[in-house]
Amino acid sequence: MEYSEILSWLKERDTDKLADLFTQADIIRKKTVGEDVHLRGLIEFSNICRQNCTYCGIRAENKTVHRYRMSMSEITHSVTQAMDLGYGTIVLQSGEAGDRDFDYLKEVVCYIKTKTPCAVTLSVGEMETSQLRELHELGADRFLLRFETSNQQLFEKIHPPVASRTSNRIGQLRVLQEIGFEVGSGVMVGIPGQSYEDLASDIMLFEKLDLDMMGIGPYIPHPGTPLGQEFLSMKPGEKIVPNTMTMTLKMVALTRLHLPETNLPSTTALETVSNDSGYENGLQCGANVIMPNLTPYAHRKKYEIYPNKSCSYEHVEILHNRIVSSLARMGRTPGYGRGDSPHYRVRSGALRKDFSS
């Protein structure tokens, strides 16, 4: 699909035409990644962060946040839960702690890789190349680092530099690929100041970076952040791209059509803006992954990157059963196992391009 076609779909409002777009994405999803929906156990192991992203509730300057880092026994408990539920991947997510949590992180990766057959995904922000290599050598399989928006000026506004560190997320995505990680990125939809052209360019950048997975979620204003305050004081006419379910679904569907062999999660932010129907809608518009939250309840409220995060208080088994029943309703199956993206398997030489054979 050309940039101009993507752009005109992003601006499309005709619900019949959009229903066609979503159906096309669903057909392609079925052909390329099948009916399996991979469930990844998400552990938000720490909310300690050195960054000051203007959109994010756990930014360093938010002094109302109670900072935590899970103990090893809490990690063991959450990992056991993931195993009991049959999940094949554990996602370790945190604020960006840099060197501070590095030894701890190595210990957690080692524990999971020696005690379980699970794939490990890291979502811990920017790190030194040598540290990324070390984590990969210890067995970490995947890394998620959203570039948030391809508009450099907007990125600098929402991700201001801290001390003398300049951010280079695109550079890190390239390094991760060279090291051998399966690499994911993603964006937010409806950031104040973001245009339709920016979103079309985001999809072009997914392609250029040759990514294996992309997380796409609506921007949700957090009143305790500078961007949240700006958003809440904007007049309706000042908002260009809506931060809605439909707008996010358009991005998911177009990404599936443009990059058919990638893994696309139906995100918690999508679920949050859609009154608990977002997971299902995302899965029907091209997505094939869900990341149920396994963070201990005692810590959930402290990982409030945006308010009213869906599933925050839902018991792990209840959430799991809700997801599995909704998959059954849609004729989909839980994809237990590692669930690598076909794109990665081709890129890393494990699978021939013709994966229908």
| Axis crossing angle, helix 3-11 with helix 196-208, rounded to the nearest 10 | 140
Q: How far apart are CA 66 and CA 244, in angstroms?
A: 30
- CB of residue 37 to ligand 5AD, shortest distance in Å: 20
Kindly tell me which of 122 and 327 has the beta carbon lying closer to ligand 5AD.
122
- CB of residue 312 to ligand 5AD, shortest distance in Å: 14
| Binding footprint of ligand 5AD on the chain (CB under 6 A) | 55-56, 146, 148, 188, 217, 219-220, 222, 269, 305-306
Kindly tell me which of 28 and 144 has the beta carbon lying closer to ligand 5AD.
144
**Amino acid making up residue 351:** L
Kindly tell me which of 87 and 155 has the beta carbon lying closer to ligand 5AD.
155
DSSP character at residue 66 = P
- CB of residue 148 to ligand 5AD, shortest distance in Å: 5
Kindly tell me which of 36 and 126 has the beta carbon lying closer to ligand 5AD.
126
- CB of residue 217 to ligand 5AD, shortest distance in Å: 5
3-state secondary structure of 291: coil
- CB of residue 65 to ligand 5AD, shortest distance in Å: 13
The two structure tokens encoding residue 282: 């995302």
Its sign, for the CA torsion 304, 308, 309, 313, is: positive
Contacts of 143 (CB under 8 A, 6+ apart): 121, 122, 123, 132, 176, 181, 182, 183, 184
Kindly tell me which of 302 and 345 has the beta carbon lying closer to ligand 5AD.
302
Kindly tell me which of 49 and 108 has the beta carbon lying closer to ligand 5AD.
49
- CB of residue 188 to ligand 5AD, shortest distance in Å: 5
Is residue 274 within 8 A of residue 220, CB to CB? The reply is no
- CB of residue 125 to ligand 5AD, shortest distance in Å: 9
Is residue 101 within 8 A of residue 46, CB to CB? The reply is yes
Residue 157 falls in which region: left (phi positive, over 0), alpha (psi -120 to 50) or beta: alpha
Q: Which H or E run contains 83?
A: helix 72-84
Q: How far apart are CA 39 and CA 87, in angstroms?
A: 6
Q: What is the DSSP string of 295-333?
A: S-HHHHTT--SSTT-TTTTS-HHHHHHHHHHHHHHHT-E
**How many secondary structure helices (H) and strands (E) does the chain include?**
15, 8
Kindly tell me which of 32 and 225 has the beta carbon lying closer to ligand 5AD.
225
- Widest CA span in the chain: 55
For tokens 């196992």, the residue is 337
- CB of residue 27 to ligand 5AD, shortest distance in Å: 28
Kindly tell me which of 185 and 262 has the beta carbon lying closer to ligand 5AD.
185
